[in-house]
């Protein structure tokens, strides 16, 4: 049985034209291909996750998946070799330009499958502006709250958001050969927590209060493939539900 969704890059332009004119939900995966994820996960972890989840979504929903955006706003990891980062204005402008280039051919509904945390506020501003300026409906995933993070009882680590029990379990489920589990570390640097107040933090390799010599924030040693499979299932279910809700939303026609 053919999958309901499709990867845009696999189509010819005559094949793409009628699909785009049908106003489907278009998925823009966002995941760095070069960002540190501790000593045990590859720099391309986010892209592996974005590509995998987008493909699973296309297996279950009639979406069009764009090529993954692999450079983004990741200021917290720049001290670690191999980590790439572009400023917020450049990243936001690129995301906006990609969406508008596709909108030109018909689609008005977009789901940004965002796998980062620092990228989320930038992409949410883009989503608001595209709604205001063009009447587009743009959803942006908050990966730390999407599906799998609701499985709180599944995780044992006291804290963590990066290359941790959660993310390592996810990689063990989708790309086990990429995980160097023997190098997994527990590293939970202290962070200033003020209820109701956002405070930016950066992972440092040096001896600072919030330093992390490994680049891990959490306890990767607790990760298992079984946990990852449950996380994957929850994430995919949440993405399918989001795509269905975006597709069902009535939109007023507006000249762009």
For residue 127, what pLDDT is reported?
Answer: 98
For residue 1, what pLDDT is reported?
Answer: 56
For residue 200, what pLDDT is reported?
Answer: 85
Query: For residue range 45-88, what is the model confidence (pLDDT) as tens digits?
Result: 999 999 999 999 999 999 999 999 999 999 999 999 999 999 99
pTM, rounded to two decimals? 0.94
Write the Ramachandran bin of 32: left for phi over 0, alpha for psi from -120 to 50, otherwise beta: beta
For residue 52, what pLDDT is reported?
Answer: 98
Q: Is the dihedral of CA 42, 46, 47, 53 positive or negative?
A: positive
For residue 151, what pLDDT is reported?
Answer: 77
Report the C-alpha gap between 130 and 134 in whole angstroms: 5
pLDDT higher than threshold 90 for residue 197:
yes
Query: For residue range 240-254, what is the model confidence (pLDDT) as tens digits?
Result: 999 999 999 988 776
For residue 211, what pLDDT is reported?
Answer: 58
User: What tokens were used for 226?
Assistant: 């079984």
User: What tokens were used for 19?
Assistant: 């699909």
The Cβ of residue 222 has, within 10 Å, a number of other Cβ atoms equal to: 18
Alpha carbon of residue 112 to chain centroid? 8
Query: For residue range 82-119, what is the model confidence (pLDDT) as tens digits?
Result: 999 999 999 999 999 999 999 999 999 999 999 999 99
For residue 161, what pLDDT is reported?
Answer: 92
In 3D space, the residue among 80, 113, 107 whose CA is nearest the CA of residue 95 turns out to be 113
The partner residues of 219 in beta bridges, in order of sequence, read 186
Query: For residue range 207-242, what is the model confidence (pLDDT) as tens digits?
Result: 455 556 899 999 999 999 999 999 999 999 999 999
CATH of domain 24-248: 3.40.50.10310
Query: For residue range 20-43, what is the model confidence (pLDDT) as tens digits?
Result: 999 999 999 999 999 999 999 999
pLDDT top residue among 183 and 204 = 183
Q: Which helix (H) or strand (E) holds 186?
A: strand 186-187
Size (the chain), residues: 256
pLDDT band at 192 (very low <50, low <70, confident <90, very high): confident
For residue 210, what pLDDT is reported?
Answer: 52
- The domain spans of the chain are 24-248
């Amino acid at each position: 049985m053919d999958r309901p969704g499709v990867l845009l890059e696999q189509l010819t332009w005559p094949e793409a034209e009628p699909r785009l004119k049908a106003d489907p939900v278009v998925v823009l995966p966002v995941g760095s291909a070069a960002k540190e994820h501790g000593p045990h996960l590859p720099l391309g972890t986010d892209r592996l996750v974005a590509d995998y989840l987008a493909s699973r979504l296309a297996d279950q929903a009639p979406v069009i998946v764009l090529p993954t955006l692999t450079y983004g706003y990741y200021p917290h990891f720049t001290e670690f070799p191999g980590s790439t980062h572009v400023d917020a204005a450049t990243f936001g402008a690129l995301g906006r330009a990609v969406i508008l280039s596709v909108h030109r051919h018909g689609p008005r509904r977009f789901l940004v499958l965002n796998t980062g945390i620092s990228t989320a506020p930038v992409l949410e501003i883009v989503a608001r502006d595209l709604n205001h300026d063009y009447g587009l409906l743009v959803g942006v995933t908050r990966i730390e709250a999407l599906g799998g993070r609701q499985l709180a009882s599944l995780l044992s680590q006291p804290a963590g958001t990066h290359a941790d029990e959660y993310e390592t379990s996810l990689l063990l489920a989708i790309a086990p050969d990429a995980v160097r589990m023997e190098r997994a570390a527990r590293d939970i640097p202290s962070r200033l927590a003020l209820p109701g107040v956002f405070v930016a933090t950066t992972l440092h390799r040096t001896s600072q209060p919030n330093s992390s010599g490994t680049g891990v924030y959490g306890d990767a040693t607790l990760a298992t493939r079984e946990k990852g499979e449950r996380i994957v299932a929850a994430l995919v279910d949440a993405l399918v539900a989001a795509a269905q809700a975006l597709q069902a939303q009535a939109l007023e026609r507006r000249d762009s």
